Copies of this chain bind each other. A is one copy, B any other.
């Protein structure tokens, strides 16, 4: 098979030009006589790659100088635990706004260390909407307020940054970072596993407002201390070098393509194509999320029955449209439309959807 359009929710599709470069450099990177996966993270060669990736990410996302940027191993879940360990005192209240599966996971990681207050929870409504800001029960003096900017499974996305006052806002941006312009200064911490919009699996990005390092947090191993990682430029221990390098190639590709403004345009176009196809299907396809908070990145939708759903998954795969099966927590179909998924991919999907409906509707 040649390369297909890949709608995987993560690990997810990467730009073909980035994969081709990684392929070309696999045995001998930059003429050094070895692959980049074989050289020391403490070599000048790798340190330059790492620094360039950070500089490019700062430019791409617009990260102010008073924020540290860490490239660390582990996915977002690890950081959900480390946020509590680093920035909340033992047992201190932390406020969580739950708008889907990943918000619940975030709470699970924080609970051993803090007093979790669920300030708002969309579960009673099936996570089809985001509870309105004026209904949130925030705690004065909480260590932080945590939100999930985009819920990968439930397809619900904050379309504006909520105002939570003086308490720092922490946000899981795993599935929407760099997909549109973002005002980083409104957040205390932004974190993201790279494997959706930023590059390969195996590395996470953590963006931390530096004044938060003054918090003592709670007793923890040095390897769990963000300050130690920041002081050593994310090389406290051996970082996932190849993954970091590949993320850096993706950053350069995004900048060359026009930056987050251009990706915001493409992502709006791609998601409109798919939502319009759903909404114009007369109920054959069904997305249950309130339009104002529909995700531009992950679109879960349903067919009339299980037989049609299975047929849709099988036939779309045969047609070169990969990984459209929905997450088991919600079922149905899910199309993920990250930065590296071209507009042509979304168009091919809606063409397939219309054809499938004609044959089965």
Contacts and interface: CB of A to CB of B under 8 A. Distances in A.
Interface of A: 1-4, 6, 8-14, 16, 19-20, 22-23, 26-28, 31-35, 37-41, 43, 73-78, 80-81, 84, 108-113, 193, 195, 200-203, 219-224, 236-243, 246, 320, 322-323
Which of A43, A84, A110 has the largest number of chain B CB atoms within 10 A?
A: A43
Contact of A14 (B28, B37, B84, B238): B37
Contacts of A201: 37, 41, 238-242
A57 to B, nearest CB: 19
A223 B109 contact: yes
Given A81-B223, A112-B219, A34 B74 contact: no
B33 A22 contact: no
A275 to B, nearest CB: 23
Contacts of A9: 40
A338 to B, nearest CB: 11
A116 B48 CA distance: 38
6 contacts: A1-B33, A32-B322, A109-B221, A109-B223, A195-B238, A202-B240
Given A6-B34, A202-B243, A222-B108, A39 B27 contact: no
B23 A26 contact: yes
**Residue among A8, A219, A242 having the largest count of chain B Cβ atoms under 10 Å:** A242
Contacts of A14: 35, 37-38
Contacts of A108: 221-222
B12 A23 contact: no
Nearest to A244: B202
Contacts of A2: 28, 33
A22 B35 CA distance: 12
A242 B112 CA distance: 31
A64 B220 CA distance: 33
A33 B11 contact: no
